[in-house]
Amino acid sequence: MRILVVEDDARIASDVSRTLEASGYVVETVTNGEDAWFAGDTEDYGAVILDLGLPGMDGLAVLKRWRANGRDMPVVILTARGSWAERVDGIDAGADDYLPKPFRMEELLARLRSIVRRSTGRASSILSAGEITLDERQMKVTRRGVPITLSPLEYRLVAYLLRNRGRVVSQLELDENVYGHGEEHDSNTLEVLIGRVRKKLGAGAIETRRGFGYFMPDTP
């Protein structure tokens, strides 16, 4: 899943990005309001972590523009200003959650998982399709209760397909949500990755719709 991090403090942006990447997300970072508005208005993200105190255009203005243009990705607001009035303004502008600075990375991850679950109508951090189960908190995948060892790329693939189980996901969408911008790969890399994962999960866990993409069925 692609996450947009909008933060002008280089240390915080780096810490958040490393934490999210270690938790199986693909992260893109921007440092000012104009770039944030453009990225969120033209690209599809699973969620956004948005600082309010940005140069150029403040985070609240960015969020209002996104919502006015129909961009409905879930958003967690970060800010060093913790007044209740600002919190109300952020929620009224369309934020899904609010986290004052300083914060613990564990809480940020929990809030991120929560808003993503709500946006997809889920109440649990456990994802299942047929014999496959994924625990987002522990980053553990099992088949019939037996743990399966996955590389970070393999985990991202399984997590994204499970979050979209029952829906055909195009190769382009998978490519964007499994590989980060810094990871070089050719056009056949995704097919090789899916082949490896099929061997670990079982041949029927990931199905192909030729010309359209891949999906995980809800039932075996």
Structural domains present in the chain: 2-119 (3.40.50.2300), 126-215 (1.10.10.10)
143-175 tens-digit pLDDT: 999 999 999 999 999 999 999 988 999 998 999
Which ranges constitute the DSSP H helices of the chain? 10-22, 33-42, 59-68, 84-93, 105-119, 152-163, 171-178, 189-201
User: Which residue has 């995704």 as its token pair?
Assistant: 190
32-70 tens-digit pLDDT: 999 999 999 999 999 999 999 899 899 999 999 999 999
Please give the model's pTM, rounded to 2 decimal places.
Answer: 0.85
pLDDT at residue 204 in the model? 86
Asked whether 59 and 4 are in contact (CB, 8 A), the reply is no
pLDDT at residue 21 in the model? 94
Q: 4 pLDDT exceeds 90?
A: yes
Average pLDDT for 8-30: 95
Asked whether 73 and 2 are in contact (CB, 8 A), the reply is no
Average pLDDT for 168-195: 83
107-113: long-range contacts (C-beta < 8 A, 24 or more apart)?
108/16, 108/19, 108/49, 108/76, 109/19, 109/20, 109/23, 111/76, 112/3, 112/20, 112/47, 112/49, 112/76, 113/137
Residue 87 pLDDT grade (very low, low, confident, very high; cuts 50, 70, 90)? confident
pLDDT at residue 183 in the model? 60
- The first and second tokens of residue 37, run together, are 């508005």
pLDDT at residue 65 in the model? 96
CA distance linking residue 42 with residue 23, whole number of Å: 25
Task: Report the residue count for the chain.
Answer: 220
- Give the angle 51-84-121 at the CA atoms, nearest 5°: 65
User: Which residue has 């995948």 as its token pair?
Assistant: 141
Residue 76 pLDDT grade (very low, low, confident, very high; cuts 50, 70, 90)? very high
Residue 187 pLDDT grade (very low, low, confident, very high; cuts 50, 70, 90)? low
pLDDT at residue 55 in the model? 92
Mean pLDDT of the chain: 90
Asked whether 124 and 137 are in contact (CB, 8 A), the reply is no
DSSP state of 169: B
pLDDT at residue 79 in the model? 84
Ramachandran angles phi, psi of 200, nearest 5°: -80, -35
